[in-house]
Amino acid sequence: MQQTSAPSLQTSNNPSDRQDISGLLLVILVSLWIVFVSGALHFVAWTVEEMLLVMGLAWPGWGWFLIAIGQGMLIGLAAIPLSRMWPSERYRAVFNTWALSSVFVLILSPIKLIQPPSTQLANLLQIILVGFFLAMMVAHLRHRDREFRLRSGKPATAQMLALIIAIIVIYPWLAWGALGSVLDTVLNLIAGLLFGFTAALLLTYYLFIPLRQTSTGIGRDLVLGGLATGTALLVMTSSLGFNGIQILLMLFIPALCIAIAGVGWYGQNEDEGTNWLSIFLLIGLTVAAPMIFFDPDELVLLLAFGVKDIPYWAFSAAIISMLIACSFGAVIMLARRHLAGSKPRMPMLGILILTWVIGAFILVGLGQRGLHGDQLFVIMADQADLDGIGVKVDSDRRSELVYKRLVEQAENSQADIRRVLDTLGIAYTPYYLVNGLAVDGGPVLRLWLERRSDVDHVIDNPVLRPLPSLEETSYGNDDAPREPTWNLTRIGADRVWRDFGVDGEGIVIGHADSGIQGDHPELIASYRGYASGDDYNWFDPWYGSTSPVDSSGHGTHTLGTILGASTGVAPGAQWFGCANLARGLGNPALYLDCLQFLLAPFPNGGDPFTDGDPSRSAQVINNSWLCPELEGCDGRTLIEAIKALRQAGIFMAVAAGNEGPWCGSVRFPPATFEEVFSVGAINQSGNIASFSSIGPVESDASGRIKPDLVAPGDGILSSFPQDTYEVQAGTSMASPHVAGVVALMWSANPSLIGDIEQTEKILAETASPYQGRQPACVDGSKVPNSGSGYGVLNAYEAVKTALAFQ
């Protein structure tokens, strides 16, 4: 860089600048190399990471750090030598810009070591590291020119043009995104604007000024400047953000390259300053939008399969923004002869006001209003002591005793922390099944909470931001069965109905899942609220629906396997339910919302602490869900709730997980707990399904044998929304078989109701020997083992043994 002021545009007389064809070809080749390295590394790595997440496998915490280091080095090795040695100042400026971009990647690489869901910490570190790079760059500029100072171009129309382009480009984000907490929004805005300021100075003083000093014509300058800008921004945005945000930025920010170059050239023949301020506004605002309006923790493929969830809307916004940016680039190229000359006589201020008013209307009228930050879940140190409530107490009485003791403990031990939170005006929701509170707050509040002597520990309670539109209701593609399906005959459920006349009558199933189509032909007659109403029979902590509904179909399918009229193991049982999953995910508070409701149901709008009625509690609960770290749970989060439900005499059937077939893949609560009955899946051939998680439990270092047994879970036909039927697979489909068999056992012999230990013993002892293939790491000669547990669920033998139990 020879000077920092911006001279008027002039055509270079240096033949090496005008005729350096080899330099131009080299620029193109290096640009292709950079695009390939950055694009391939990030898009492939992100896809692999997400597929591992879907399979329940962990992406190494140092993976993204090594990718950033590798990317920075591969780009730097190509650009840095050329930035020093290439004879043409014009192309040397391009290589220098890319070299600095590679340094930016290396400096920001430590961000990649922070694991989700610590987005606020990562954002703070991001701001610090971008600031560090900015300070280094300014120091270098001052070293090159002791009189260096920032001077913005005088035409205010340049800034207006930048603001017009920026707001129109981010229209999709305003319409389809949702704000996080105040802290999230502020940190992301600061990060985006700081990045924009840094990129603006880098592009202005290391690229645009040298190009203008060696100009070969504004058209060529825009093309070369645009190519260099787009490539540099691809590299720099790849290191900004985390958990997929960088992928969104890489999709559309480089497409602004011609628009950025055009703004940089705007009105420059009539001013000695530079347009760094305009470039800063354009880049800063467009980069900040995705980070502000989409939560990186929600950019997971787990939310993308078959539904229009966050990944769909985020990537749609990025693609539309890319198209808008390209359109502005085309317009600027067509109007290039008017950019640097006389000031345009456009009503720029009026256009600016109009575009921003439209943006405000989109945000308020079409966007998702309000702040939607994550919560904390505070687990109190004093948990209720339920010893002394034994199996000999009548099961209805046990539920009442457990409920009263839990509520009393929570009310007493939470009194002080609630008082302080009320004084501070901090919103919270108390819980009793686990003595704790869901609290609206961020890192500062967390530090205070963790220091309290009455708090055991604090975990994240992630909350999904709202979608632009409601989930589309799923639709099945199969017909209703005309005879018992293979899974029912495989466990002998049809023989139970025929030989013993037992169908689950008198047993109440509690179902917590994605929801339930309550009026499905398979389920409507067995709904406990069919005649009495939805009070005490349905609870939706997600959307507040007052009667059973289900859009994804997961809950309708799993309940249909338990007690569907023609698809269920125990068609005579009754059910009531709760929605703890939406869009395939939950969090600790939502899981507790439903478990509390299943222990002590309350009317719509009721208070779980004062309006719960344990006499209406579930007797058997199916849990076709798990709570991994992604949803906020650690190994201790739900254990007190599970222990309390067991003390209340409620049987818990739990899906083992779909992270198999690797040993130790039963990893997430509640399937890992000793206090539940965990179920793996077999297919129609009698082999353990390829997806079924197997033990032993390594997450808590217990080495516990899980699953407890296996049941049909692959190719299961059951009820689905819109009065349809669908075949699905998963351990989610296996555990309902156990819940249904327990309903048959307890219906056959009511003296077993609430006797969890004896029920589990009968299930284990009557299981059919597993005769299929075992994973290589499982010793199938031992029973139980971590592949198939005690064997294959046998409904006929279990009910037969239950009938004989005294």
Distance (Å) of CA 684 to CA 486, 560, 658, 687, 776: 8, 19, 17, 8, 21
Residue spans of alpha helices (H) in 86-118 = 89-108
Are the beta carbons of 681 and 689 closer than 8 angstroms?
A: yes
Note whether 39 and 250 are within 8 A (CB): yes
Beta strands (DSSP E) in 478-579 are: 508-513, 538-539, 574-579
In the set 513, 540, 708, 714, the catalytic residue is 513
Count CB atoms within 10 A of the CB of residue 707.
Answer: 33
Q: Which of 624, 718, 719, 732 is catalytic?
A: 732
Q: Is 16 part of the annotated catalytic residue set?
A: no
Q: Tell me whether residue 743 is exposed, middle or buried, using C-beta atoms within 10 angstroms of its C-beta: 0 to 12, 13 to 18, 19 or more.
A: buried
What's the one-letter identity of residue 678?
Answer: S
Per DSSP, helices labelled H in 145-265 are 156-169, 171-176, 182-203, 209-213, 218-238, 245-252, 257-265
Q: Is 474 among the catalytic positions?
A: no
Pseudo-torsion of CA 476, 481, 485, 488, nearest 10°? Answer: 90
- Residue 428: beta bridge partners? 439
**Of the candidates 608, 715, 752, 730, the residue with the CA atom closest to the CA atom of residue 660:** 730
First to last CA, the chain: 93
Structure tokens given for 455: 């708090």
Identify the CA nearest to 634 among candidates 438, 460, 415, 398. Answer: 460
Q: Strand, helix or coil at 719?
A: strand
Mapping DSSP to helix (H, G, I), strand (E, B) and coil, where does residue 369 land? strand
Six-digit token string for 81: 């030598």
Run of H or E including 114: none
Q: What is the CA radius of gyration of the chain?
A: 31
- Look at residues 668, 684, 676, 660 and name the one whose alpha carbon lies nearest to residue 786: 660
Tell me the torsion sign for CA atoms 750, 751, 755, 756: negative
3-state secondary structure 576-643: EEEECCECCECCHHHHHHHHHHHHCCCCCCCCCCCCCCHHHCCCEEEECCCCCHHHCCCCCCCHHHHH
Catalytic residue among 42, 511, 520, 554: 554
Element (DSSP H or E) covering residue 455: strand 455-461
Is 554 an active-site residue?
Answer: yes
Active-site amino acid positions: 513, 554, 732
